[in-house]
Amino acid sequence: MRACVNLHNRYHLSADDIDDVECRVRMGDRAADSGAEQVFSQQAPSGDYGAHFSTPFIAAVALLKGRLALADFDGNALKDPDVLKLSAKIRREDDPNHGRPKYASGHVFIKTKDGQVYEERQHIHPGHVENPVSAADVQEKYRYNAVRLINLEKADALMHQVMTIERLPNLRDLTERLRI
């Protein structure tokens, strides 16, 4: 996913620009379970559960939007024509250079219609002690997800309280704000 986000941020390709995408991830023992592999390789998942595990769907969202948020996995988002068009062009392959068990690495190759090839390898996954997630990344992801239930002003006020929780005189105000 992070390799796809990086490719999005660098090249801003559209579904129409792309001819083929290969996502290399460790398939390991799960590849032997054809039921699990069907879920991981679904190009057009029928529900939010399948979308959360579908490499082609996740890669398409990340390549087109430069992010993943809960809103990308339900309702009309599962029918986004650009995401589905790109997802149909994405193959999941085993990564012979995976970093397991220490790292959850991935390698993405994009071939565009004009013959260009772009690639990105993410050897150390975000959130690993050797590749920590920045506070800005956490805050951005929180905002994407929080605004599904509350407005941005309330989301930012809550985030500020949580980020400064050690300075709050008591938690009552914070817990009251968490009620929806």
Q: Where are the domains of the chain?
A: 2-122, 135-177
Dihedral class, residue 12 (left if φ above 0, else alpha if ψ from -120 to 50, else beta)? left
User: Topology of domain 2-122, per CATH?
Assistant: 60s Ribosomal Protein L30; Chain: A; (3.30.1330)
Cα–Cα distance between 115 and 34 in angstroms, integer? 33
Amino acid, res. 148: R
What DSSP line would sit under 106-167, residue for residue?
EEEEEEETTS-EEEEEE-S-TTBTTBPPPHHHHHHHHHHHHTTTS-HHHHHHHHHHHHTGGG
Q: Is the pLDDT of residue 32 over 60?
A: no
> Model confidence over 37-75: pLDDT tens digits?
676 888 889 889 889 999 999 999 999 999 989 999 988
CB 102 within 8 A of CB 91: no
Number of H helices, E strands in the chain: 8, 4
> Which range is least confidently modeled, 13-17, 24-28, 36-40?
36-40
Residue pLDDT, tens place only, 81-138: 999 999 999 999 988 888 888 888 899 999 999 999 999 999 998 889 999 999 999 9
Band of residue 29 on the pLDDT scale cut at 50, 70, 90? low
Distance CA 157, CA 14 (A): 35
pLDDT at 34: 61
DSSP annotation of 78 reads: G
State whether the Cα torsion 160-163-164-166 is positive or negative. Answer: positive
Confidence of residue 159 (pLDDT cuts 50, 70, 90): very high
pLDDT at 178 over 70: yes
Listed range (7-16, 99-108, 145-154) with the worst mean pLDDT: 99-108
Q: How confident is the model at residue 36 (pLDDT cuts 50, 70, 90)?
A: low
For residue 42, what are the contacts with CB-CB under 8 A and spacing of at least 6? 50, 53, 54, 56, 57
